[in-house]
Structure 1
Amino acid sequence: MRVWAFIFACIYFNIYGQSHTSTWYNIDNGLPQSSAKAIVKDKYGFIWISTENGLVRYDGSSFITFNNFKVNNLHFGEFIGDPLLDSITVLNNFQENKIIIKNRFPKLSHLTGSDKMAFSNGNTIVQRIANNIITSSFYNDIQYFIQLKNSAYYFTEKNTIIYKEGKKETKTALPFTNKDLNNIFVLNETLFINDLKKRKTYSIYKGQLSVSEESTLFNHPDTKIYWQQITNQTFIINHDNIYILEGNEKNLRLRFLINFEEIGNHSYCSMFFDKDFNKLYLGTLNNGLNVLKLTNFYISKKEADFSNNIYYASLPFSKNTIIAEDGTEFGKNGIVKKHLFGCNDNYLMMYDDSENILIRKRNSIIRYYKNSGYKRKDSTFIGKGFEAFMKSGNFYGTTFTDLSGTQLRLYKKNLFTRPDFTYNFKSFVNIFFQYSDREILTGNSDGLYSIMLGSNTITPLIKNIHVKSIFRTKDNLIWITTNKNGFYLFRNHKLIKMPNDRNGYLQSAHYILEDPKGAYWISSNNGLFKVPKKQLLQYAENRKTPVFYYRFTKRDGFLTNEFNGSSEPNAYALENGEFVFPSMDGFVFFNPDNIRTYYPERNKIYIERVKIGNSEPQYFHQTLDLKNNYKTADVFIDIPYFSNPENLYIEGKISGKENTGWEQIPTGNELKYTISDLSPGEYMLSIRILISPDGKYEVKTIRFNIQPLFYQTLLFRVSASVVILIIIIIIVQLTTNFLRIKNKALKQIVRNKNSELKETSLHLEAVKSNLQKETEYQKKLVETISHDITTPIRFIAMLSQKLHESDDLELQKKYFDSIYKSSEQLYQFTLNLKEYTELYKAENIFEEKEYPINRILEIKNRLFCEIAKEQGTTISLLAEHTLYSKVNESILTAIIHNILDNAVKNTFEGNISLNITETQQKSTIIIADTGIGMSTEQIATYMNLFRNPTLETPSFKGKGLGLHMVIHLVKKINAEISFSQNQPSGTVVKIILKKTNLYE
């Protein structure tokens, strides 16, 4: 039986667990893939997670994914190896590759046969067991073994376990099959096997068997076991309670961690407990990583629906409980009892000298008598305007308010007698404090006042602050808290303002409690703070020494970061050593001795990664070289710190060619110091990290060098100086030679002046001519564009007017359709306006490729058909064959546009035909209309204009603007145009394109 009786006698010790907070991480917030198949902590303090898409290193703030290995399979499995020896190994699926994690970095390593987790032994598969997870499955047709440091356990025969150490082999017979492997674990080198049916536990140490028939949690039928060899951790899960195995193989102990009702809700496949930071890591197959922060803060509140858990007033009631104004008695685990106090004001509670409880209810005071178990009560009407009651030292006090201010009444006996002193204030009195036998301090809404008893002298000590509370800690120090002005130490009739925390949350501090180890606990509107008292007192002496506050938040187990404060004390140190602070969601109970503060370890701070610009982070050792073209360099500070990063105090400075002072480094998801805007040279970056609440820093330094540009080097400066000297000598020599030949050159210059002046005059004339041509071109361009869009726009305007005047829906629809079609074609036309800029300047009048002339006729037909239709005219496209041309398409388009525009404007109730004919020598475009037509005189005029060879830039003013432009453009492309009368009416215009010109 060995020592089983002693082993399991300790098994249920420490059954009271801790509350917790839960944080999930998955592919959305850090992990490369939502699986966490294995978890381990290396010797440097970092957490490593094996996933289906690489390996992940977690430092408490950020996840760094390593999946750029030169392998095709990134599905990794269980960790094996020894973290203490800086050797963690993991294989991917099918045991294709091996990754070894060493010196905080994973790398691909050579895979040997001894690394494999499974191999063949003849026709049998032999598989290594390195963990026993909740979802493990073991089969009888597979042989299993557990590899220890220098020995191994083999499960190759039914009802037999083989222990091998070197060549020595020991067989142990017991009722065992492979399915019982779900109930095993190994502690150091002892194998434990649990028989859940017979409630037995077997242990085998080096082949020696021991049996315990004690009924324990290990062999409970509802127990599930999780064991991981690399961490040497074993977890027992029973009815949602999670325990961790502690001690050694001769002294087993189970430490109760947590009651976690969600343990069965997810596919948890990995577990790891970080005792250094009191965190439990639970990895799932498909939902990511769940990190449980186990905390010794206990939240006590009403759990009923719609309960109000905001308490401003409370009193210590027993050694471990408090009581609220509604009679609810709270302990750290919840409600202990409900006393029938009824409904009262929730801001004021107090014990009188007989330990009766006094509670305000409007203008009265309700008294609950202690000798009746606080069941009997009476009520005393105090008076109209009654605002508050309080007690300090030997005095009771009441305040009364009206529109003129506040009256403070002080009583030596009790609240129900005549006042001994009365004082009037214009401001509201929040609190009074007996400073001495003859002096009273009052905290008002506008400052702090001193009253000398027996006189009417009221002396203001500080103005323009809202005093919230005045109290004396057990070390006989007087502290004053304010609303939005921080907190003060009151010493020798002077107020010494204490420094704020980094975020300014202590501007609204509430109350201070001192623990037995000399630390102050300060509640605020945003968190609970802990600070060594000696730091505040040192600051009070010299105003220079730093003060380091440690902040607790919802991450540490609170339901809210906002605590409550009132003028009267509402935070207490109970007789059992527990502290109680009221929050906006219940009371916070804790024993200050059980609350840890976390600081980085001196030897676990690493500065070895840098990100230069937008590149990927890279590693360096001690010295960093930056090229001269760098913009920014982010130097990362890697600290395995798994608590609230807000409590990290990290500063950095640069010394060298340029120097900076200590700068606070922001604590977010990444800790980094950014180097930028430094001139070339050698520098030293110093990083200091607070490693203890006493203000001790650990300083880490790295050297970095910014390479100079080529012109910033000494060699360049010397070379440049030599070159400049040589240049000066050459300049002097050349100047001398120049002066020698200058006289000879002057005569030649005079002879050349006349010719130069003539050339200059000719050049100016050419410039003037070019400017005139450019001006004329701009003018012609504007006139051309204006002319070409006038008809479509006028048509759209006319249709719009008709649409406005018509009430016929069908007719309106017809107008709308015409406007839409005309606008669409006008839009397409305007898209090509850019081409008009080339009409007059273009020197190349031919295209590189042929295009169909029919396309131009079709486009112009669509542009003008609606306009013509409105005038009762039809446009017919008669061309039966497609003809091609290389003439500049933009110029030809402008010619056809203007001729068709004139035809449409002069044809009513008629027909316009578009046709193309072709012979071997020429192609002819024919536009015929049956409109008003041109007179014989007009035809003669335009034909003379075409035949006149001296007319290069005609004036486009006046009538006939379009035909003037057409004639000019026809001559530009070396084509011909003719005008003739159509029978019986109208005009026929022909544009003849010579084929001999088309293919030159």
Structure 2
Amino acid sequence: MRVWALFFTCLYFNIYGQRYTSTWYNIDNGLPQSSAKAIVKDKYGFIWIATENGIVRYDGSSFITFNSFKINNLHFGEFIGDPSQDSITVLNDFQENKVIIKNRFPKLTKLHSSDKITFTTGNEFLHRVANNILACNFYNDVQYFVRLKNSTYSFTEKNSIVYKDHKGRETKISIPFSNKDLNNMFVFNEVLFINDMKNRKTYSIDNGKVSVYEGPSLFNDPNTRVYWQQITNQTFIINHNNIYIVVGNEKKLDLKFLVEYDEIGSHSYCSMFYGWKFNKLYLGTLNNGLNVLKLSDFYVAKKKEDFSNNVYYASLPMSKKTIIAEDGTEFGRDGIVKKYPLGNNDNYLMMYDKAGNILIRKRSSVIKFYKDSGYKRKDSTFIKHGFQAFLQSGSLYGASFSDSSKSQLQIFKEDTFSKPDYTYEFDSFVNTFFQYRENEILVGNSDGLYSAVLGSKTVTPIHKNIHVKSIIRTKDNLIWVMTNKSGFYLLRDRKLIKMPTDRNNHLMSAHYILEDRNGFYWISSNNGLFKVPKKQLLQYAQNRKNPVYYYRFTKRDGFLTNEFNGSSQPNAYALENGDFVFPSMDGFVFFNPDHVRTFYPDKDKIFIERVKIGNSETEYFHDRLNLENNYKTAEIFIDIPYYSNLENLYLEAKIAGKENSEWEPVTTGKELKYTISNLDPGEYTLSVRILLSPDGKFEQKSIKFKIKPLFYQTLVFRVSASIIILVIIIVIVQLMTNFLRIKNRVLKQIVHNKNSELKETSLNLEVVKSDLRKETEYQKKLVETISHDITTPIRFIAMLSQKLHESDDLELQKKYFDSIYKSSEQLYQFTLNLKEYTELYKAENIFEEEKYLINRILEIKKKLFCEIAKERGTTIINAAESNVYSQVNESILTAIIHNILDNAVKNTFDGEIHLNTAENNQNITITISDTGTGMPDEQINMYMSLFRNPKLETPSFKGKGLGLHMVIHLVKKINAEISFRHNQPQGTIVELMLNKN
């Protein structure tokens, strides 16, 4: 009983309207399946989620799914084990398999009978209770038990609980109890708690000893739902949409209010986990995925009526914890406190006069609301046309005026705005003024900052070409100048020192600065609220090389908009109760700077152990990474459990080794990774450092990696290759010399024999001359033919070689190497058949003994010209689908197709060339069509006339049209037909008809 006296007298409920932001994750954005049946955090800071399609690791930004286990059942349930001992286990459905999560990696392990949660002994069906989820069902015909570290509680029968200690001694505990009461049971710090909702009692059982509290509480409220998970030692109490977490110890149990969440009953929630450090509540469902609630320490006060205008600029402190807007609405952190009848006024400027009356501008007048009337009585003072703003700084008041060409600033020692004491003229628009000294003011204009001495007409420019919005003196007596799109400045010794902006340049439009009591500045901007150590800005002012680390708060932290508002007058305040308040485009943002947390990674929770090489799957390594020389790219992942805005991670990396780099930022996207590419073989060290605190402390971690050299990049290979090449050159020279000597002797013998033959008979002289003339003509044709056929591929290879020489782009070089290789290979295959060219003109037999496949010739020629055509933007398409065979001399047919396709490639740019075959009973038709420039009618007629001229047996191959002249001669030689015609809309179609008979 004394335990409960302490427990419930010290119970507190810190209930207030804490805001939150909700983010859902499901199969569409990270999870492998839309269930989150259990949630646990390991000792390394990673969150693990059990789903119906594997186990998921979450680091705050990305999900890694593990479902490649060699099992068929990937439906996993609740987690059990001890995260502090790096041992988390989970079973799949029907308890078929067991997975253990250890050292940040899950693996399949052997399942023992003691691992099972549900089993039978004799005729009894036993089930271990390791959590109490919101949808639990407990049945009377099942015996349940709870296993603690050194003891066990068994719920054997109605009104009976058996406690068994570590020595096996049993103690029977008699309390009113049935299995349905297990829905209201939880364990906290090894103490069992059971709530009796009907009788409004709560029982605690510690090592078998029972204590009872006979009184109502949230624990035994009939409207309370309990969620408990043993592995996390977390218990949640849900009552009327309010979610609490059990804190304290077994002798002093407290409830900490987390959030009022109206949708807690709208989804099939089955798992809960609260992350203390990052102030996040994780809610898992059976069918909608994971819901992450970011609990906020910011409060937005706004009008909630339909069509309300919640865009605020000016305001004034009204009490220790409230402010008043220009429309008379008094706001506190929880919303509207009171309404004053101030009416509709300009919302940009308002201030108190010396008597505490509120002054608000309305067009060209100043409206005064009297404090002694509760701001109900008012009067209006017309100033004059062109009146823009009234201002106040120190003991001085000001009013600005403007027309189409000039602006004027009037300074008053009193706040009547009647007769000015000093007047200054400017060419630019006056935004604000600031009393710098007793007799000196600073004037902020749309074109710069100026200094003016009271009583003198002298105006001195301090800084030009900036649009000054406001001038602020913080409580540390420093003066800050806020500008529009030029950042903010520190004024020191009459000089402006520009402060560095944040990484994304959101502070280029900064509005206002407040200093808290812990040495931090809070700066509102057009895109977020920033927190920065004051000493970093001052150190930067001394030495521009000192870094400044801003921490940015956004809508994710509880705002309704990232856009705050500024004004020429103070519009952000430090209230007497310690709250700060800033105006925004959607309400006023209240917060206590002492309570708003900033989040940084733990120094011992930075892991570099995963790599993705090229397009392969992610691999794990330990301490050292070995990369093959052909790795192309290697993405090294930096795993950091960080559950806040990644924009506030300051993560940098560098490489040291054969090549060195300076510290460079690591892009913070969904995955944190550093990409390695284009490094020469050698030993390297990758160093990563991350900011751990706002004072600039970094933690550094390094790994070593090696890029292996290819065999030809080693020194041994280079020396050996040089020797081998030298030997080969010497051997080739010697062989060529011997060959030429032998050939010379053979030629001398031939000449001798010819001379002998000539001497022996003069009758054969004419025959010999004729034979020599034919042989000379044949050799000439042969040389011309070979030269013609290989000119295009060799020219293409030469062109690519020149581009390769001129290019430094490795990817482009690879492309050129590939094209040269393919063209050279096909040219090599072509030259292997050069011997066949010797038969083209002297071949007597125009038919082969066996049939051969024409499609094969088309494919070979397509490959030869493919790269050349590709360089011209042309595609060669072999459309021949059925196999067509022929017995026409293969060498002659190959030469004909080669030359026709060569002409098509030469004359086609950014087009297509089609190859096709067809056959009937008498003929085989080979068609080569292109979409190139096409042949003129005169040229077509010339070649067709050349073909039809039976007397032209040996045409001249010199000059234009060498290839087609040769083609026509060879077509006639094999008794075939050829035709040329225009392709539509452009190009040429060449048809070659072979006679089957």
Bin for the TM-score computed over the shorter chain: 0.7 to 0.9
Secondary structure of the corresponding residue to residue 506 of structure 1: helix
Q: State how far apart, in whole Å, the 1-side matches of 2:183 and 2:879 are.
A: 83
Measured at CA, do residues 765 and 188 of structure 1 come closer, stay the same or move farther in structure 2, by a change above 3 Å? closer
Q: Is the contact between residue 431 and residue 442 of structure 1 (CA under 8 Å) also seen in structure 2?
A: yes
Which residue in the other structure is 2:923 paired with? 888
Letter in 1 for 2:117: M
Which residue in the other structure is 2:262 paired with? 261
1:480-495 residue pairs with structure 2 within 5 A? Answer: 480-495=481-496
Secondary structure of the corresponding residue to residue 263 of structure 2: helix
Letter in 2 for 1:281: Y
Q: Is the contact between residue 17 and residue 256 of structure 1 (CA under 8 Å) also seen in structure 2?
A: no
Deviations 1:490-540 (A, max 9, x none): 000101000010000000000000000000000000000000000000000
Which residue in the other structure is 2:157 paired with? 157
Measured at CA, do residues 530 and 753 of structure 1 come closer, stay the same or move farther in structure 2, by a change above 3 Å? farther
Q: State how far apart, in whole Å, the 2-side matches of 1:576 and 1:254 are.
A: 26
Which residue in the other structure is 2:601 paired with? 600
- Deviating more after overlay: 99-108 vs 455-464: 455-464
Q: Which runs of 5+ in 2 are unaligned?
A: 756-770, 789-839, 841-876, 891-918, 927-947, 955-970, 978-994
Q: Could you tell me how far 1:12 is from its partner in structure 2?
A: 2.8
Q: Could you tell me how far 1:759 is from its partner in structure 2?
A: 3.0
Q: Could you tell me how far 1:124 is from its partner in structure 2?
A: 2.0
1:36-115 residue pairs with structure 2 within 5 A? Answer: 36-115=36-115
Q: Is the contact between residue 448 and residue 463 of structure 1 (CA under 8 Å) also seen in structure 2?
A: yes
Q: Is the contact between residue 610 and residue 633 of structure 1 (CA under 8 Å) also seen in structure 2?
A: yes
1:129-528 residue pairs with structure 2 within 5 A? Answer: 129-165=129-165, 166-528=167-529
Q: State how far apart, in whole Å, the 1-side matches of 2:142 and 2:584 are.
A: 58
- Deviating more after overlay: 751-760 vs 703-712: 751-760
Q: Could you tell me how far 1:413 is from its partner in structure 2?
A: 1.5
1:117 aligns with 2:152: no
Q: Is the contact between residue 399 and residue 417 of structure 2 (CA under 8 Å) also seen in structure 1?
A: no
Which of these two proteins has the greater Rg computed from alpha carbons? 1
Measured at CA, do residues 497 and 748 of structure 1 come closer, stay the same or move farther in structure 2, by a change above 3 Å? farther
1:761 aligns with 2:765: no
Deviations 1:681-727 (A, max 9, x none): 11111111111111111111111000101111122123224334544
Measured at CA, do residues 748 and 587 of structure 1 come closer, stay the same or move farther in structure 2, by a change above 3 Å? farther
Measured at CA, do residues 418 and 215 of structure 1 come closer, stay the same or move farther in structure 2, by a change above 3 Å? same
Q: Which runs of 5+ in 1 are unaligned?
A: 775-830, 845-883, 892-945, 954-967, 975-996
- Deviating more after overlay: 377-386 vs 264-273: 377-386
Secondary structure of the corresponding residue to residue 593 of structure 1: coil
Q: Could you tell me how far 1:245 is from its partner in structure 2?
A: 0.2
Q: State how far apart, in whole Å, the 1-side matches of 2:390 and 2:775 are.
A: 109
Deviations 1:758-784 (A, max 9, x none): 63333335789999xx9xxxxxxxxxx
Secondary structure of the corresponding residue to residue 262 of structure 1: coil
Measured at CA, do residues 670 and 462 of structure 1 come closer, stay the same or move farther in structure 2, by a change above 3 Å? same
Q: Could you tell me how far 1:393 is from its partner in structure 2?
A: 1.1
Q: State how far apart, in whole Å, the 1-side matches of 2:635 and 2:327 are.
A: 56
Q: State how far apart, in whole Å, the 2-side matches of 1:86 and 1:744 are.
A: 88
Q: Is the contact between residue 887 and residue 973 of structure 1 (CA under 8 Å) also seen in structure 2?
A: no
Q: Is the contact between residue 136 and residue 182 of structure 1 (CA under 8 Å) also seen in structure 2?
A: yes
Q: State how far apart, in whole Å, the 1-side matches of 2:731 and 2:781 are.
A: 43
Which residue in the other structure is 2:19 paired with? 19
Q: Is the contact between residue 145 and residue 155 of structure 2 (CA under 8 Å) also seen in structure 1?
A: yes
1:760-779 residue pairs with structure 2 within 5 A? Answer: 760-764=776-780
1:869-888 residue pairs with structure 2 within 5 A? Answer: 886-888=921-923
Deviations 1:740-767 (A, max 9, x none): 8898688569779999886333333578
Which residue in the other structure is 1:690 paired with? 691
Which residue in the other structure is 2:618 paired with? 617
- Deviating more after overlay: 489-498 vs 715-724: 715-724
Which residue in the other structure is 2:534 paired with? 533
Q: State how far apart, in whole Å, the 2-side matches of 1:834 and 1:249 are.
A: 85
Secondary structure of the corresponding residue to residue 563 of structure 1: coil
Q: Is the contact between residue 31 and residue 289 of structure 2 (CA under 8 Å) also seen in structure 1?
A: yes
Q: Is the contact between residue 17 and residue 334 of structure 2 (CA under 8 Å) also seen in structure 1?
A: no
Q: Could you tell me how far 1:231 is from its partner in structure 2?
A: 0.3
Which residue in the other structure is 1:957 paired with? none
Q: State how far apart, in whole Å, the 2-side matches of 1:839 and 1:203 are.
A: 94
Secondary structure of the corresponding residue to residue 480 of structure 1: strand
Q: Could you tell me how far 1:38 is from its partner in structure 2?
A: 0.2
Q: Is the contact between residue 19 and residue 298 of structure 1 (CA under 8 Å) also seen in structure 2?
A: yes
Which residue in the other structure is 2:637 paired with? 636
Which residue in the other structure is 1:665 paired with? 666
Which residue in the other structure is 2:675 paired with? 674
Q: Could you tell me how far 1:460 is from its partner in structure 2?
A: 1.2
Which residue in the other structure is 1:4 paired with? 4
Which residue in the other structure is 1:935 paired with? none
Letter in 1 for 2:465: N
Q: Could you tell me how far 1:362 is from its partner in structure 2?
A: 1.0
Q: Is the contact between residue 440 and residue 453 of structure 1 (CA under 8 Å) also seen in structure 2?
A: yes
Q: State how far apart, in whole Å, the 2-side matches of 1:752 and 1:77 are.
A: 100
Q: Is the contact between residue 431 and residue 444 of structure 1 (CA under 8 Å) also seen in structure 2?
A: yes
Letter in 2 for 1:430: N
Q: Is the contact between residue 186 and residue 194 of structure 2 (CA under 8 Å) also seen in structure 1?
A: yes
Deviations 1:548-585 (A, max 9, x none): 00000011001110000111111000011110011110
Q: Could you tell me how far 1:404 is from its partner in structure 2?
A: 2.1
- Deviating more after overlay: 369-378 vs 272-281: 369-378
Measured at CA, do residues 335 and 69 of structure 1 come closer, stay the same or move farther in structure 2, by a change above 3 Å? same
Q: State how far apart, in whole Å, the 2-side matches of 1:769 and 1:662 are.
A: 63
Q: State how far apart, in whole Å, the 1-side matches of 2:90 and 2:590 are.
A: 44
Secondary structure of the corresponding residue to residue 263 of structure 1: coil
- Deviating more after overlay: 399-408 vs 79-88: 399-408
Q: Is the contact between residue 327 and residue 341 of structure 1 (CA under 8 Å) also seen in structure 2?
A: yes
Q: State how far apart, in whole Å, the 2-side matches of 1:190 and 1:604 are.
A: 32
Measured at CA, do residues 761 and 130 of structure 1 come closer, stay the same or move farther in structure 2, by a change above 3 Å? same
Measured at CA, do residues 307 and 753 of structure 1 come closer, stay the same or move farther in structure 2, by a change above 3 Å? farther
Deviations 1:961-987 (A, max 9, x none): xxxxxxx99x9799xxxxxxxxxxxxx
Deviations 1:326-379 (A, max 9, x none): 000000000000011111111110011111110011111111111222222111
Question: How large is the RMSD of aligned CA atoms in angstroms?
Answer: 3.5
Q: State how far apart, in whole Å, the 2-side matches of 1:203 and 1:502 are.
A: 54
Measured at CA, do residues 507 and 750 of structure 1 come closer, stay the same or move farther in structure 2, by a change above 3 Å? farther
Q: State how far apart, in whole Å, the 1-side matches of 2:642 and 2:440 are.
A: 50
1:566-965 residue pairs with structure 2 within 5 A? Answer: 566-724=567-725, 726-727=727-728, 730=731, 759-764=775-780, 886-888=921-923
Q: Could you tell me how far 1:659 is from its partner in structure 2?
A: 1.0
Q: State how far apart, in whole Å, the 2-side matches of 1:395 and 1:345 are.
A: 22
Q: Is the contact between residue 395 and residue 412 of structure 1 (CA under 8 Å) also seen in structure 2?
A: yes
Q: Could you tell me how far 1:729 is from its partner in structure 2?
A: 5.9
Q: State how far apart, in whole Å, the 2-side matches of 1:379 and 1:91 are.
A: 77
Deviations 1:882-912 (A, max 9, x none): xx98433759xxxxxxxxxxxxxxxxxxxxx
Q: Could you tell me how far 1:90 is from its partner in structure 2?
A: 0.2
Q: Is the contact between residue 390 and residue 431 of structure 1 (CA under 8 Å) also seen in structure 2?
A: yes
Q: State how far apart, in whole Å, the 1-side matches of 2:741 and 2:313 are.
A: 104
Q: Could you tell me how far 1:126 is from its partner in structure 2?
A: 0.3
Q: Is the contact between residue 398 and residue 415 of structure 1 (CA under 8 Å) also seen in structure 2?
A: no
Q: Is the contact between residue 301 and residue 309 of structure 1 (CA under 8 Å) also seen in structure 2?
A: yes
Q: Is the contact between residue 160 and residue 173 of structure 2 (CA under 8 Å) also seen in structure 1?
A: yes
Q: State how far apart, in whole Å, the 2-side matches of 1:539 and 1:441 are.
A: 24
Secondary structure of the corresponding residue to residue 2 of structure 2: coil
